[in-house]
Amino acid sequence: MDLAFRCSSPLYLPSSPSTTTRKPSNCHVKSFPRKMSLSMATAQAYDSELENKKLQLLTSIQDTQRGLLTTPDQRFSIEEALVNVEGCNKGDPINLNKLDGTWRLQYTSAFDVLVLFEAAARLPFFQVGQIFQKFECRDESNGGVIRNVVRWSVPNLLEEQDGATLLVSAKFTVVSVRNIYPQFQEITLQDININEQLQALIAPALLPRSYLSLQILQFLRAFKAQIPVRDPGRQSVGGLYYLSYLDDNMLLGRAVGGGGVFVFTRAQSLY
């Protein structure tokens, strides 16, 4: 029964007819829990609406192969769904502790990423696996490190999807409430995983493995090539990146200047 109703109900008046005074009403005190319940209900309704908007966005990009196959109507629907989610924490400053971690690419319209997907679709000897963006900025106040991780493979030579890793590393600084400026440092090729057929060709399991064949396998597994992308004494290549939405499980970004949009979801740590 509602506490405010009980205070004014005749059932709660004094039983003695000779009583002429009443105790001071404390209905205003007992109404606080009701106000708190209304606030909680409003917050729950907001959370439910937000989750529905995020679900609509993920549904709209579901059959696009991460942006490779989209029609004009799909792109319009995706942009509309993006804007709906972005409006939910528009203007909030970047929370670097929340940004820290690994994010899996679900969709992009960025040309420099789509060209990889197009190459994989056309070339029988090239595959693109998962793409991640790893932020290292916990407990930082003004920036950190971004590692763009691309898993790729060569069929019949390397393991499917995860045959090798291309790592593009950059340092970033926070330049405004929602903008960061990455400055790319180096490109690394690592984690080469040859498939079982190639391993058997290099070092047959049924024959005594020679020292040379074992050295070849070890070299391939430990291979790591690093290429700097900055010139000494000059500022490295970079670009403005607008983080348009961020919560515990979704990250949306826009490359300023028409570089494309990005939709990420939280993933398990890579390293």
pLDDT at residue 164, as a whole number = 86
- Separation of alpha carbons 81 and 85, rounded Å: 6
CB 96 within 8 Å of CB 243 = no
- Separation of alpha carbons 9 and 1, rounded Å: 11
Domain ranges of the chain: 36-267
pLDDT at residue 132, as a whole number = 97
pLDDT at residue 209, as a whole number = 52
pLDDT at residue 124, as a whole number = 85
131: left (phi over 0), alpha (psi -120 to 50) or beta: beta
What pTM, to 2 d.p., does this model score? 0.74
Type of residue found at 63: D
The residues near 56 (Cβ < 8 Å, ≥ 6 apart) are 81, 84
> pLDDT tens, position by position, for the chain (271 residues)?
444 434 444 333 344 444 444 444 444 444 556 656 656 666 666 688 999 999 999 999 999 999 999 999 999 999 999 999 999 887 789 999 999 999 999 999 999 899 999 999 998 888 999 999 999 999 998 999 999 999 988 887 777 777 888 999 999 999 999 999 999 888 898 877 776 665 565 555 544 555 555 565 565 566 567 777 765 555 556 689 999 999 999 999 999 887 899 999 999 987 6
Token representation of residue 30: 């007992």
Q: Kindly report the backbone phi and psi dihedral angles of residue 51, in degrees, each rounded to the nearest multiple of 5, phi listed first.
A: -60, -35
pLDDT at residue 39, as a whole number = 67
**3-state SS string over the chain?**
CCHHHHHHCHHHCCCCCCCCCCCCCCHHHHCHHHHHHHHHHHHHHHHHHHHHHHHHHHHHCCCCCCCCCCCHHHHHHHHHHHHHHHCCCCCCCCCHHHHCEEEEEEEECCHHHHHHHHHHHHCCCCEEEEEEEEEECCCCCCEEEEEEEEEEECCCCECCCCCEEEEEEEEEEECCCCEEEEEEEEEEEECCCECHHHHHHHCCCCCCCCHHHHHHHHHHHHCCEEEECCCCCCCCCECCEEEEEECCCEEEEEECCCCEEEEEEEECCCC
Q: Which of 31, 40, 23 is nearest to 6 (CA)?
A: 31
CATH of domain 36-267: 2.40.128.280
